[in-house]
Structure formats: structure tokens, C-alpha cells
Amino acid sequence: MRSSPDHIPIFAEAPLKPVMGGACNGCGVCCLLEPCPLGVVLSGHRQGACRALRWDADALIYRCGAITAPREVLAQRLPHWLHWAVPLLAGVLGVAALRWVAAGQGCDCDAELLPDAEP
């Protein structure tokens, strides 16, 4: 399935997108559409799904990997010769990411979602 501003793949079990300004519920829409400024750095691109986004199959929500899995995200993004720094940087990233992604500040995504048409 391809991802574009007109079509994003999303787990059917994900919660429905809250209204703009409502509490974040982990729907993942914002991060599937485009990465935030931190996600641009971690993903290496400005369009499309953020590579740091993680699906939590137990909680049935999307989570920012920079917050929940900073070691994994850094290990995937940093060049091999910098992997020695992952343990040092992971703690800093996990704490800083809470502010950088505005965790808990409410939904800032104004996208309107429509279900896929049946084949």
C-alpha cells in the first residue's frame, strides 16, 4: 500500500482521530502524514510517514519511538561508526522528545479522514 497526502496506511485497530485541539489518543494520523521537526531529523525526510513512529500492538495505539524506544530509533538512524553513542544519547532523546513533539499538548492535525473505498 502506498502512502501519500491523499492515502495513508493505518491499522484498523487504531483509535479514531480526535478533533483538533482534543487530547492525543495515539491515532497516529499526524505522524503518518508527515514527520514533526524532530521526526524530520530522525526520518531523514520531510514528507510521508515518520520513521520513528511505532505501533503498540498491546495498547492498540501509535507511539513516538523517540520517546518510547529511543535506543532503537537512534540505532536505526545513526551511522554504524556512531553506534557507541546510542546509550549516551538515548536518555537525552527520550526526555527531550517529550517537549520537541509536544506530547500531551493536544491534537494539532487538521486532516479529515475518509475510509478506503471497498474494492
Average pLDDT value for the chain: 86
Where does residue 55 rank: exposed (0-12), middle (13-18), buried (19+ CB within 10 A)? middle
pLDDT band at 105 (very low <50, low <70, confident <90, very high): confident
Q: How many CB atoms lie within 10 A of CB 119?
A: 3
Distance between CA atoms of 52 and 31, rounded to whole angstroms?
Answer: 9
Global pTM value: 0.82
Q: How many CB atoms lie within 10 A of CB 24?
A: 21
Q: How many CB atoms lie within 10 A of CB 75?
A: 15
**Structure confidence by residue, pLDDT tens digits, 39-87:** 998 888 898 899 999 999 999 999 999 999 999 999 988 889 998 999 9
